[in-house]
Amino acid sequence: MDRTKALSLFGLLAAGVLAASLGGRSARCGSPQQAQGRAEEQAPQLALVWGKLRGFSRKAQGWELFYQPAHGAWVVRVLVPDDAAPQKPALEVAGWLPGSRLSLEAAQRLAGGERAEGFLERPARRDWYFSRAAVFGALPAARSPGRQAGVGVSWAAALLAGLLLAGATARRVGSHPVDRGLRRAMLLAAALGVLALPGATRLAAALFTPGIRPFVNLTVLVAAGSLLLATVAAAAYLFPAFPSRPRWWTWAGGALSGWVLGALTAPPWAVAVAGVPGRVLWLLAPPLLAGYLLDLAGAGARGLLAPLGRLAWLLLAAGAVLAFGWGGSWGLPLGVALLAGALPLGQGVWFATAAASTFLPGVWWVAVGWLGPLRDGLAVLLATVGGLSATALRGGKVEA
């Protein structure tokens, strides 16, 4: 049994054991559109127009919706639990918006008699803060949880970035055949990704701030996303993948691994993707680009460990297990990249692409409770199985 078959069988057995543990998982959620209807009908209303729904994020207990009017003077957040009534909306108001200077007694009356923690003087109003409420001028609302000061970078993300740099260097220095068809597919995937960006801004609504018109943030986000996709497309052209004919067990191992990882982890951002417009584009373009990037990182890991000989693939497999177990959210792509690096040259890109293609359907199948994403995920699964069957019938022993 060669190294590829050994790794494939190990991956299939491990994925089967993990899949057996999914029987008790039944927590499914409704769509953000359903949460929007409940919020606008049942949530306590504020003394102002909320504005347009700009985005949403998935929380442990339900959906958090973000509203902002076109003038951008305020942002309204409302949490809609899956099995309870919507909570009182939270409000963030731009500091320049004029209002009132209420006394402590008047602010306490609006806040329901809570004890004040302090106040903040604005240019044209006074804001009172209580333990669970706030009064902005004369507008009472739930107290906003505030925004994170910064986002930390995990060791898995830093290691993945380093492996991408190592893989790009190795492919730039070395020489190998170029699959022009695959390179064109990467450029097409990047173009399709640009079409998905307007819907993807729904996932970045937490970046919208009061005092800035929402179209400014939309323009910045779409421009930044387009620049990122152009960078990935340029990398795919300058450092192309080196594919050989896919073996059926490479496809099967990658597809099953991606499905199981998605079903076990079900990250909130992946659940939220099911509710964005054009989610079908997320099943077509990003998996191909993600598979290329993960294979590039795997090539970097393989090149760095090449002096160790046959011990290298064992270290890569062990590193993948550590990444899956202790790498957090970034450990998932790092683990797939290390497994792709452990495979023979030319097979990693197929393994990583198959894993990326079934990750979102795996998440949706266990965590999403409305029809559309489940139907799309099942269609991707059938297409993957069809590709496996065609590859198996053609025979997987011939190398391109």
Q: Can you give the pLDDT at residue 247?
A: 81
pLDDT in tens, 206-255: 788 899 999 998 999 999 999 999 999 999 988 988 877 778 788 888 88
pLDDT band at 27 (very low <50, low <70, confident <90, very high): low
Residue 23 pLDDT grade (very low, low, confident, very high; cuts 50, 70, 90): very low
Question: 399 or 65: which carries more pLDDT confidence?
Answer: 65
Distance in angstroms (rounded) separating the CA atoms of residues 382 and 393 = 16
Q: How far apart are CA 262 and CA 268, in angstroms?
A: 11
Q: How confident is the model at residue 363 (pLDDT cuts 50, 70, 90)?
A: very high
pLDDT 10s digits, 279-303: 888 888 889 999 999 999 999 999 9
Predicted local distance difference test score (pLDDT) of residue 76: 94
pLDDT, mean over the chain: 85
Whole-number Cα distances in Å, 29 to 19, 63, 262, 369: 21, 9, 16, 5
Report pLDDT for 335.
94
How many angstroms separate the CA atoms of 391 and 249, rounded? 10
The percentage of the chain sitting over the pLDDT mark of 70, rounded to a whole number, equals: 87
Q: Does residue 19 sit in helix, strand or coil?
A: helix
Give the pLDDT confidence of 39-49 residue by residue, as tens digits: 999 998 888 89
pLDDT value for 101: 92
The whole-number pLDDT of residue 8 equals 53
What tens digit of pLDDT does each residue of 153-206 get? 688 999 999 999 999 998 888 777 777 888 888 899 999 899 888 888 899 887
By mean pLDDT, which of 43-47, 199-203, 333-337, 387-391 is the weakest?
387-391
Planar angle of CA 36, 39, 41, nearest 5 degrees: 110
Q: Place 258 in a pLDDT band, splitting at 50, 70 and 90.
A: very high
What is the distance between the alpha carbons of residues 171 and 304, in angstroms, rounded to a whole number?
13
**Using one digit for the tens of pLDDT, what is the confidence trace for 132-157?**
889 999 888 888 776 654 455 688 99
pLDDT at 352 over 60: yes
> To 5 degrees, how large is the angle CA 252–CA 258–CA 264?
130
How many C-beta atoms surround the C-beta of residue 200 within 10 A?
A: 21
| Residue in 29, 91, 85 with CA at minimum distance from that of residue 57 | 29
Please state which of the ranges 2-6, 76-80, 137-141 shows the lowest mean pLDDT: 2-6
Cβ proximity of 146 and 77 under 8 Å: no
More confident residue, 160 or 309: 160
